Structure 1
């Protein structure tokens, strides 16, 4: 989860933490934040995130981001 926290820090959203839920649906983060997170993830892993993973529901919580990354980054 520290890795995900660092992604949020890198996009200037250190206020978001792993206890928060419904990040997108409660407008805690917006579409620009999601796009910035995707950019950070792609830079970190040096891999393009496939379109199927770029859905708002994958960014609702740290747990959903972690789950998405586990699926997206396995070879």
Structure 2
């Protein structure tokens, strides 16, 4: 829901390879917070947590105790 149809779940190094930028990350954080109806702690708003779909899933699981 962040308007990036060119990004798929098999991609890696999303941030470090400049596939997504800080605006994309902020949009993603916004969508995560809306979906879970919780605020994401700033400790989890680091580029390393957005490098791949797997790292995003792990971050969400840890951040929201899922």
TM-score of the alignment, normalized to the shorter chain, above 0.5: yes
| Aligned match of 1:61 | 52
Distance of 1:31 and 1:45 partners within structure 2: 21
Alignment of 1:50 onto 2:41: yes
Alignment of 1:21 onto 2:12: yes
State the TM-score, normalizing by the size of structure 2.
Answer: 0.96
State the TM-score, normalizing by the size of structure 1.
Answer: 0.85
RMSD: 1.0
| Aligned match of 1:33 | 24
Distance of 1:69 and 1:60 partners within structure 2: 13
User: Which structure has more helix as a fraction of its residues?
Assistant: 1
Unaligned runs of 5+ in 1: 1-9
